[in-house]
Amino acid sequence: MKLSNKYAQKYFNVGVGYINGFTQTPFVKAIDYFNTIYGDNIDGGVAEIGVYHGQSFILLNQFVDKSQSSYAFDVFDEAHSEGNLYPDPATEEKFKHNLTTFDFRNHGKNVLTVKGDTTKLNIRDIVEKDSIRYFSVDGAHSAAATESDLNIAAWSLKEDGVIFVDDIMHPCWAGVLEGTLSFLKKNCSIVPFALGGNKLFLCNDKHKEAYLDHMCRYEERTYFPIKGTPEFDWFGHKIALFNILKQHVD
């Protein structure tokens, strides 16, 4: 697979398969394509709630410069960590090892690692407002936690930044969809514009048209043989789809 970003390419070739995680290849390709909309503008850091072993966080950090602060949030090896549902629970030590080993662009030097429950932390004392270019929400998958984390992401996001919500349509994590829809009803300035790779893409409504148009021109935006517009309706929002199973639509 060929990517536009040389650091992301190296990370995909060497790091993604080594680090335990659930990042789908279609998301790697889609974020690399989406990132081209910024050109040489690398203003803003990245943040993720629920970094686990760092597979997706390290990917996102390849798209920003070390002069930009990034933030990694996780409860890590605490008893209530979602990671304990899996054979290899996350620990802060594992994450930091992966970060320094596979963050080919920044070597983790721009990253602040924060251990704790984001629904209880005062994030506004940690992350600067309007400073995050990419914010990944992948923490506790309840409706309440998802909505809380989305509020944090929206507060932290640069005007032209993007939020990614993981497991948005996963049948085992219905709370993610419930919490996201509740957030969208209360925050009209943040809207979805793309869905695929197990992620929902959200942005400021000021950039919705440009971002939607960009993703509608993504060569792998959808396998649906749709006539006319490439846009699809998702709970009242027009979005672009990618990485959808091939099937016939009348």
Looking at residue 248, its pLDDT comes to 43
Res. 42: pLDDT tops 90: no
Give 104-138 pLDDT, tens digit per residue: 999 999 999 999 999 999 988 999 999 999 999 99
**Cα→Cα distances 49→8, 86, 203, Å:** 20, 18, 17
Res. 84: pLDDT tops 60: no
Give 143-195 pLDDT, tens digit per residue: 999 999 999 999 999 999 999 999 999 888 999 999 999 999 999 999 999 99
Looking at residue 249, its pLDDT comes to 45
For 125-150, letters b (16+ CB in 10 Å) and e give ebbeeebbbbbbbbbbbbbebbbbbb
User: Which residues does residue 165 pair with via DSSP β-bridges, in sequence order?
Assistant: 137, 200
- Angle in degrees, 0-180, between the axes of helices 174-186 and 143-156, rounded to the nearest 10: 50
The answer to whether 119 touches 136, Cβ cutoff 8 Å, is: no
Q: Where are the alpha helices (DSSP H) in the chain?
A: 6-14, 25-35, 55-61, 92-102, 143-156, 174-186, 208-216
Give 188-222 pLDDT, tens digit per residue: 999 999 999 899 999 999 999 999 999 998 876 65
Classify domain 6-241 by CATH number: 3.40.50.150
Where exactly are the structural domains of the chain?
6-241
